[in-house]
């Protein structure tokens, strides 16, 4: 190619850059193919919708499973905590029940005036320790008789009472929280 021909070709190319691009049939069909690629066909859209719906259903099912498992775990933890508390209370109850005869001996010593000196200090320490564990004694002279908390071993009538009343306490009763460890042994007087 000569130098003149090369210049003419360069000029033509430079001038073509400023002109609107010419389209022929091949270019038009490429544009339609491009448009078809960006807009999904009707069959593809329904397939995507079905897949989306299946994914939503699967997600809802997994969410329900997760909620059910979370609720089961929360119930399990509550049950274990409740069982642990019950076991601890029962163990404490067994230990305190074993100590009740010692507390009875301390009460008898107190009634007879034998609770003095170092023995009094030990007795008070034991009473304080059992009190911290939740042991509560009951059964005093003059209390109304309650058959769920008192065991009547003697019965009499009296004009001094207006309802069945404990007139003598032979042995104190004890509770641990709401649980009755031992009923009080009492003599009961009914009104005449």
Reply yes or no on domain 135-192 having CATH 2.30.22.10.
yes
Which residues lie across from 138 on neighbouring strands? 173
In this predicted model, what pLDDT tens digit does every residue of 5-14 receive, in sequence order?
A: 666 665 666 5
Using CB atoms within 10 Å of the CB of residue 166, give its burial: 0 to 12 exposed, 13 to 18 middle, 19+ buried.
buried
In this predicted model, what pLDDT tens digit does every residue of 20-29 receive, in sequence order?
A: 444 444 454 4
Measure the CA–CA gap between 120 and 109, rounded to whole angstroms.
10
Domain ranges of the chain: 135-192
pLDDT at 4: 65
Using CB atoms within 10 Å of the CB of residue 152, give its burial: 0 to 12 exposed, 13 to 18 middle, 19+ buried.
middle
């Amino acid at each position: 190619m000569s130098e003149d021909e090369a210049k003419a070709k360069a000029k033509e190319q430079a001038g073509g850059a400023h002109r609107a691009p010419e389209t022929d049939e091949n270019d038009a069909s490429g544009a339609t193919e491009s448009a078809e690629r960006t807009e999904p066909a009707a069959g593809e859209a329904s397939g995507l919708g079905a897949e989306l719906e299946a994914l939503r259903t699967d997600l809802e099912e997994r969410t329900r499973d997760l909620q059910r498992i979370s609720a089961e775990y929360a119930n399990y933890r509550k049950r274990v905590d409740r069982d642990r508390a019950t076991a601890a209370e029962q163990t404490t109850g067994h230990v305190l029940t074993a100590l009740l005869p010692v507390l009875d001996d301390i009460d008898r010593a107190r009634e007879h005036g034998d609770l003095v000196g170092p023995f009094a200090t030990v007795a008070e320490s034991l009473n304080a320790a059992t009190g911290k564990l939740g042991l509560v004694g009951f059964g005093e002279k003059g209390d109304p008789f309650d058959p769920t908390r008192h065991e009547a071993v003697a019965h009499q009538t009296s004009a001094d009472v207006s309802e069945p009343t404990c007139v003598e306490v032979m042995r104190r009763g004890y509770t641990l929280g709401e649980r009755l460890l031992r009923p009080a042994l009492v003599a009961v007087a009914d009104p005449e």
